[in-house]
């Protein structure tokens, strides 16, 4: 196997957590990758796929990982890089070397809050099922020309745009101490999407149904307000504002329901 020649720089050492099947035991493998300027973690994984051998020279299977947009808008390549949930496409090797030193080992693991499918691929079905629970869409009665939509004032447009940037990457849930594999907590991602759709003049037609989910098992009362979510969100979505917004709306909704009954 011929390895491409690169600049006279120390190789990049990666310690990668692997798992062959969902029910098999995880294990670690170390890889040494020749340095090239402007690399990201995705390009490193591509290199290992082309030259699948460990740092000790043993042949191995290529690393399995998710990849799509390569520009941090799809969220599919989220993984734990040096213990932090982030996207492989925007994790720049030069930047990490500057922070940790050229000789430092970079650790890569799958997210821990979702079932592992294989290697760095996890099953994030739960996130999309939760979006179904809150009806995370704008209801329409057909796909014919419905005319112009409702007008939205610029300040609300700005708020809605910030919330619409969510790419369902899972970083906020990975960082959340309340979100686990075993419980039903929906997490900041869903809180923010409920806020988005309930603020929208068309989406708010299902506002009460969404608030029922927020008041139920895994809803807003399970949030410990650790605020880890907002620190790791790659799109800088104001998640703590959404948590506070949902909390206030839940109180109003509960009082309204009590008075009605």
Tell me: the pLDDT tens digits for 191-223?
A: 999 999 999 998 999 999 999 999 999 999 999
The reported pLDDT for the residue numbered 261 is 72
Calculate the average pLDDT of the chain: 93
What is the β-pairing status of strands 106-109 and 116-118? unpaired
For the chain, list the domains and their CATH numbers.
12-122 (3.10.20.30), 125-260 (1.10.1060.10)
Residue 16, SS3?
Answer: strand
Residues 25, 18: Cα–Cα separation, whole Å? 9
Q: Which helix (H) or strand (E) holds 76?
A: none
Beta bridge partners of 79: 86
Contact yes or no for 166/120 (Cβ under 8 A): no
Residues 190, 46: Cα–Cα separation, whole Å? 33
In tens, the pLDDT along 152-181 reads 999 999 999 999 999 999 999 999 999 999
Contact yes or no for 245/197 (Cβ under 8 A): no
pLDDT in tens, the chain (261 residues): 444 545 578 899 999 999 999 999 999 999 999 999 999 999 999 999 999 999 999 999 999 999 999 999 999 999 999 999 999 999 999 999 888 887 889 999 999 999 999 999 999 999 999 999 999 998 878 888 878 888 999 999 999 999 999 999 999 999 999 999 999 999 999 999 999 999 999 899 999 999 999 999 999 999 999 999 999 999 999 999 999 999 999 999 999 888 887
Where in 77-200 does DSSP place strands (E)?
78-81, 84-87, 106-109, 116-118, 121-122
Q: How many helices (H) and strands (E) does the chain have?
A: 9, 7
Residue 125 token pair? 């079905």
Place of tokens 């997490």: 187
Beta-carbon contacts of 10 under 8 Å, excluding residues fewer than 6 positions away, are 35, 102, 103
> Which pTM does this prediction carry?
0.90
């Amino acid at each position: 196997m011929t390895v491409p020649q690169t600049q006279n720089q120390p190789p990049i050492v990666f310690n990668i957590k692997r798992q062959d099947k969902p029910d098999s035991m995880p294990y670690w493998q170390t890889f040494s990758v020749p340095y090239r300027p402007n690399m990201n973690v995705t390009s490193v994984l591509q290199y290992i796929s082309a030259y699948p051998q460990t740092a000790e020279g043993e042949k191995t299977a290529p690393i399995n990982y998710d990849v799509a947009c390569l520009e941090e808008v799809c969220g599919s390549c989220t993984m734990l890089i040096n213990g932090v949930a982030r996207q492989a496409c925007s994790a720049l090797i030069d930047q990490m070397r500057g922070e940790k030193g050229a000789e430092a080992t970079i650790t890569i693991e799958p997210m821990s809050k979702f079932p592992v499918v294989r290697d760095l691929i996890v099953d994030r079905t739960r996130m999309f099922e939760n979006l179904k629970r809150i009806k995370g869409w704008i209801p329409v009665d057909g796909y014919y020309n419905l005319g112009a939509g409702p007008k939205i004032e610029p300040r609300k447009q700005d708020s809605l745009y910030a919330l619409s940037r969510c790419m369902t990457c899972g970083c906020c849930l990975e960082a959340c101490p309340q979100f686990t594999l075993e419980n039903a907590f929906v997490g900041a991602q869903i809180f923010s999407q409920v806020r988005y759709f309930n603020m929208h003049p068309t989406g708010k037609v299902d506002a009460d149904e969404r608030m029922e989910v927020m008041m139920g098992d895994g809803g807003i009362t399970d949030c410990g307000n650790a605020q880890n979510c907002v620190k790791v969100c790659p799109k800088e979505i104001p998640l703590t504002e959404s948590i506070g917004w949902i909390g206030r709306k839940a109180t109003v909704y509960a009082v309204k329901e009590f008075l009605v009954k």
